[in-house]
Amino acid sequence: MQQRGCSQRLVPLKWSNTRLRARFVGQSQQLFRSARHRLARIPVLRKRRGPTPQRHHTKSYNLSRESHLIFNTNTQPLSRGILAVPMVMSQKPSLIQHARRQPLAAIGFLLLVIFVFSGLAAPWLTPYDPSAIDLLHRLESPSATHPAGTDELGRDIFSRLLFGARLSLAVSVTVVFVSLALGLAIGGLAGYLGGFVDTALTTFAMNTFLALPGILLAIAFAAFLGPGFSNLVLALAIGGWAGYARLVRAQVLAVRDREYVDAARALGASGLRIFFHHILPNIIQPILVQAAIGMAGVILAEATLSFLGLGIPAPSPSWGAMLNDARLHLFDSPHLVLFPAAAVACAVLGFNFVGDALRDQLDPRTRLEIGL
């Protein structure tokens, strides 16, 4: 005799079991009904029976103000019981939608456009010579003849504001370019080579300049070198390159061991080619954000040095020098202070808002949060 349970054969599962088949069919029907209920609100293509000629056309349904669904009818005949699911194609938001989602970015971009346009087109927009003295019309209030009034020497303030924007734009662009070039060279060298070079440049160069306040360092160099455009640019660049170098070093350290860098190194690419073709394009995003925010800091630093008499010498119009000249007339002619201060504030806010917008635009996680 065979022992019970030892010689039993495994019988494959068949659909002859009525209860099991009914249970499976019931669950399948329930899942199908739930899926059909979820797709009830979506416009679907009707089921077709039999072969149909191929059709190529597009139907659009505007479901909201920001997106629409595009249904591309299938070129193959649909079998019975199959529903066509619509394909959602995202539409790029317009400038108005971007402005609604990021109002501060729109305001900053508008302020930046006004600032750049005023600086570039200052010789054609000014109604008067910014250095012309007219003592008969000194300390006049804003009027149709002088939209921003006149100063203590009768010079038109509106003309001086436009030429001051031109000077601030030139100083900020030059200082950021020089500081960024020094930061890329020193920070990239320290981050890519590492070892003793990284320790020496980080400890003795970057940390030394970062330990001193940038504005005090710029004041010291400007006082030592004397007033002038080139001396002002050099003083501000010496005090601002360390921040860019530290940022570049940190980004290079995070990228230099990636797979594509190792692949380029294995293929025999030189160090300069690896840095400029593989590393720099992948670290340029935070550098651009830092440069945009650094422009605002340079404008403030230039106004501070000009206010102290260490910037551009007279009679060149500068917003800081205009504020210094208006100190004695703060109460009897407040427009001498309000207009230059408002110009400095608007320029700084514009660059800060644009820098924040660039950071949000270049960061994928932030773009998902704000819906870009």
pLDDT in tens, the chain (372 residues): 444 444 444 444 444 455 555 565 566 666 666 655 555 555 544 444 445 455 444 444 444 443 444 444 444 444 444 444 444 445 566 667 666 777 888 888 899 999 999 889 988 988 888 888 888 888 888 888 888 888 888 888 999 999 999 999 999 999 999 999 999 999 999 988 888 888 888 888 888 888 888 888 888 888 888 888 888 899 899 888 888 999 999 999 989 888 888 898 888 888 888 888 889 888 888 898 899 889 999 999 999 998 888 888 878 888 988 898 888 888 888 888 999 999 999 999 999 998 888 887 776 666 556 555
| Residue 351 lies inside a defined structural domain of this protein | yes
Question: What pLDDT was estimated at residue 198?
Answer: 87
The two three-digit tokens of residue 126, written as one number: 């000014």
Beta-bridged to residue 68, according to DSSP, are 62
Question: What pLDDT was estimated at residue 28?
Answer: 62
Number of neighbours of residue 198 by Cβ within 10 angstroms: 18
| Residue 16 lies inside a defined structural domain of this protein | no
How far is CA 218 from each of CA 13, 112, 146, 226, 253, rounded to the nearest angstrom? 86, 25, 35, 11, 29
CA distance 168 to 295: 10
Question: What pLDDT was estimated at residue 40?
Answer: 57
Question: What pLDDT was estimated at residue 219?
Answer: 87
Question: What pLDDT was estimated at residue 209?
Answer: 86
Question: What pLDDT was estimated at residue 81?
Answer: 45
Question: What pLDDT was estimated at residue 184?
Answer: 92
Beta-bridged to residue 69, according to DSSP, are 61, 88
Question: What pLDDT was estimated at residue 93?
Answer: 61
Question: What pLDDT was estimated at residue 346?
Answer: 93
| Residue 140 lies inside a defined structural domain of this protein | yes
Residues 13-40: pLDDT tens digits? Answer: 444 455 555 565 566 666 666 655 555 5
| Residue 60 lies inside a defined structural domain of this protein | no
In the sheet with 68-72, reading across from the earlier edge strand, the strands are 58-62, 68-72, 87-88
Question: What pLDDT was estimated at residue 2?
Answer: 44
Total structural domains in the chain?
A: 1
| Residue 32 lies inside a defined structural domain of this protein | no
Domain of 118, CATH number, reads 1.10.3720.10
Question: What pLDDT was estimated at residue 34?
Answer: 63
CA distance 284 to 290: 10
Q: What are phi and psi of 313, to 5 degrees?
A: -70, 160
| Residue 58 lies inside a defined structural domain of this protein | no
Question: What pLDDT was estimated at residue 179?
Answer: 93
Write out the residue range of the structural domain in which residue 181 sits.
97-370
Q: Give 350-362 as a DSSP string.
A: HHHHHHHHHHHHH
| Residue 117 lies inside a defined structural domain of this protein | yes
| Residue 36 lies inside a defined structural domain of this protein | no
